Amino acid sequence: MNPNYRPLFESFVFNSGVELKNRIVMAPMTNFSSNEDGTVSDAEVEYYARRSNGVGMVVTACTYVTPNGKGFPGEFAGDSDDMIPSLQRLAANIKEKGAKAVLQIFHGGRQVPPNLVPDGDVVSASAVASSENAGVEPRALTESEVEAIIRDFGQATRRAIEAGYDGVEIHGANGYLIQQFFSPHSNRREDRWGGDLEKRLTFPLAVVDEVKRVVAEHAKGPFLVGYRLSPEEAETPGITMSDTLRLVDALADKQLDYIHVSLMDFWSAPRRGADDSKSRIEWIQERVGHRVPVIGVGSIHTADDAIKALQTGIPLIALGREIIVEPDWVEKVAQGRESEIRTTLSKEDQERLVVPDPLWQAIINTPGWFPVV
């Protein structure tokens, strides 16, 4: 191994006591490939197993915690105890390869396609449509429904524990329901779940509290609780960097195992709410990195890119598209073969890369998403 890359291979211990063998995480990515009944498919299991040898931790694609939260076709379910055997199968295959398995738990809120949820009932914090789900105006959740969804996040966490996962990641990013409650764009409520910035924190923090309560009650050993967030929104009104710095302060108070910052580009600069002397992730690291570990992600392709990212003080680096294009990324760096890391794919590579058909079709047919040559 090139000695410059040794920091990538140092072990890491979270607050909960869960230990990773290295600093590389497989980022959560939707793969559209589960069975119609919400169970994990054989193709999905093989896809994850192929990528679980080298990384220290795998964060799965999001799993919906309640039937009206299903955000994608081919998304696997965590909304009933019937799903525990399916969840268990995925966790076992990831862990067998030596990585820690973390289940990402989520509700799509106003982003869900009506045809995927019971009675086409799309819900959110308020009746404000999303530009990404054109023509679909969500119904504002009642107070009792809000409380029920919080409990559903807790129940999905219990199922993750029973299925043998090493942790859960609360999906508060990418415009989904938890972010919808935090955002002044999608949350126009005037009850205890909305209003000023502090009130818009109520739902995200209530989910964290419920998940942590369930872990304390049910986990027999160390069990991770992480939180993923998107630092800004393009809309006005929308989440700004200053809002996010207040959110990460509140999350750090909850003694989470990590905060995972969802970015397309690790080095992207703030739009508003902080100056551009630092990248978004550097602002977050400076604010709370001494209190809670931060995971960075976004267009980190090479080992040099990963080392440069670690030098910001961020302790963990997630690879998303890179680990699809190059499943052996970690092993190649460890063996001094980093020059052999592939950074593009061709239309003939599906079988070699062990990618399920629905995900492969999305990769090939979405211009600009993946480097297809």
Beta-carbon count within 10 A of 252 CB: 17
The two structure tokens encoding residue 310: 């670690």
* 228 strand-pairing partners: 171, 260
User: What gap in Å lies between CA 132 and CA 100, rounded to an integer?
Assistant: 33
Cα dist from 231 to 83, 234, 238, 371, whole Å: 32, 10, 10, 26
- Catalytic residue positions, numbered: 176
- How many CA atoms does the CB half-sphere of 173 hold within 13 Å? 24
Q: Compute the C-alpha angle 106/171/223, nearest 5°.
A: 95
Which residue in 259, 279, 258 sits closest to 269, CA to CA?
A: 279
Beta-carbon count within 10 A of 331 CB: 13
The answer to whether residues 319 and 27 touch, using CB atoms and an 8 Å cutoff, is yes
Give the model's pLDDT for residue 130. 96
For the chain, which ranges sit under pLDDT 70? Answer: none
Instruction: Provide the H-helix boundaries in 201-240.
Output: 202-218
Beta strands in 141-193 (DSSP E): 167-172
User: What gap in Å lies between CA 37 and CA 323, rounded to an integer?
Assistant: 28
The answer to whether residues 10 and 23 touch, using CB atoms and an 8 Å cutoff, is yes
The two structure tokens encoding residue 160: 């993750």
Which residue in 105, 106, 13 sits closest to 57, CA to CA?
A: 13
Which residue in 338, 339, 349, 340 sits closest to 371, CA to CA?
A: 349
The answer to whether residues 327 and 51 touch, using CB atoms and an 8 Å cutoff, is yes
Give the model's pLDDT for residue 230. 98
Secondary structure class of 283 (helix, strand, coil): helix
Which residue in 194, 226, 177, 186 sits closest to 70, CA to CA?
A: 177
The answer to whether residues 166 and 102 touch, using CB atoms and an 8 Å cutoff, is yes
The two structure tokens encoding residue 38: 């919400």
Secondary structure class of 343 (helix, strand, coil): coil
Which residue in 215, 94, 100, 114 sits closest to 156, CA to CA?
A: 215
DSSP at 229? E
User: What gap in Å lies between CA 370 and CA 365, rounded to an integer?
Assistant: 10
User: What is the fold of 3-365?
Assistant: TIM Barrel (3.20.20)
The two structure tokens encoding residue 175: 């415009």
Give the model's pLDDT for residue 351. 97
User: What gap in Å lies between CA 64 and CA 29, rounded to an integer?
Assistant: 14
User: What gap in Å lies between CA 231 and CA 262, rounded to an integer?
Assistant: 8
